[in-house]
Structure 1
Amino acid sequence: MKTVIIFDHPYTATASHNVPHQRAFLAALCQQVQQQLKAQNDQVTLIDLHAEQFDPVMSAAELARWRRGLPVNAQVARYQQALLAAERIIFMFPIWWEVMPAMTKGFLDKVYAKNILYRGDNMRTKLERQPRIDVITTMSTPKLLYRWLFGAPLLKMLQRGTFLKTRLWHFKWHPVVQVDQLTLAQRQQVLAKFKI
Structure 2
Amino acid sequence: MKTVIVYNHPYEKSFNHAILEATMRGLKHSENEIDLINLDEDKFNPVMEKEDLLGFVRHSAVDDQAVDYINRLQNADNLVFIFPIWWELMPAMMKGFIDKVIFPGGTFDYTKSGYGMISKLSRLKKTTVITTMNTPKALYRMIFSNAIQRSLIRGTLKKSGMKNITWLSFNMIKSSSIKRRTSWLVKVEKHFKNI
TM-score, with length taken from structure 2: 0.89
Q: Contact 2:108–2:121 (CA<8 Å) still a contact in 1?
A: yes
Aligned equivalent of 2:63 = 73
Letter in 2 for 1:174: L
RMSD across aligned C-alpha pairs, in angstroms? 1.5
Aligned equivalent of 2:184 = 190
| Among 144, 147, 151, the residue aligned to 2:145 | 151
- Give the deviation of 1:72 after TM superposition: 1.9
Please state whether the residue corresponding to 1:119 is helix, strand or coil. strand
Aligned equivalent of 1:181 = 175
Q: What's the % identity of the aligned pairs?
A: 37
| Among 39, 44, 55, the residue aligned to 2:34 | 44
What per-residue deviation string (whole Å, max 9, x for no partner) do you get for residues 66-105 of structure 1?
A: 3222222221111101111111110000011111111111
Check 1:162–1:139 CA distance in 2 against 1; reply closer, same or farther (3 A cut).
Answer: same
Of structures 1 and 2, the one with the larger relative CO (CA 8 A, separation 6+) is 2
Supply the distance in 2 between the matched residues of 1:35 and 1:190 (Cα, whole angstroms).
Answer: 14
Q: Contact 1:4–1:46 (CA<8 Å) still a contact in 2?
A: yes
Aligned equivalent of 1:9 = 9
Check 1:186–1:160 CA distance in 2 against 1; reply closer, same or farther (3 A cut).
Answer: closer
- Give the deviation of 1:164 after TM superposition: 1.9
| Among 104, 107, 110, the residue aligned to 2:97 | 107
Please state if 1:96 is matched with 2:86: yes
Supply the distance in 2 between the matched residues of 1:129 and 1:30 (Cα, whole angstroms).
Answer: 23
- Give the deviation of 1:65 after TM superposition: 2.5
Structure 2 unmatched runs, 5+ = none
Q: Contact 2:131–2:169 (CA<8 Å) still a contact in 1?
A: yes
Letter in 1 for 2:34: V
Q: Contact 1:4–1:82 (CA<8 Å) still a contact in 2?
A: yes
Q: Contact 1:134–1:173 (CA<8 Å) still a contact in 2?
A: yes
Letter in 1 for 2:5: I
- Give the deviation of 1:185 after TM superposition: 4.0
TM-score, with length taken from structure 1: 0.89
Check 1:189–1:116 CA distance in 2 against 1; reply closer, same or farther (3 A cut).
Answer: closer
Q: Contact 2:108–2:161 (CA<8 Å) still a contact in 1?
A: no
| Among 101, 106, 120, the residue aligned to 1:126 | 120
| Among 132, 136, 139, the residue aligned to 1:138 | 132
Supply the distance in 1 between the matched residues of 2:56 and 2:184 (Cα, whole angstroms).
Answer: 41
Check 1:170–1:189 CA distance in 2 against 1; reply closer, same or farther (3 A cut).
Answer: closer
Q: Contact 2:5–2:82 (CA<8 Å) still a contact in 1?
A: yes
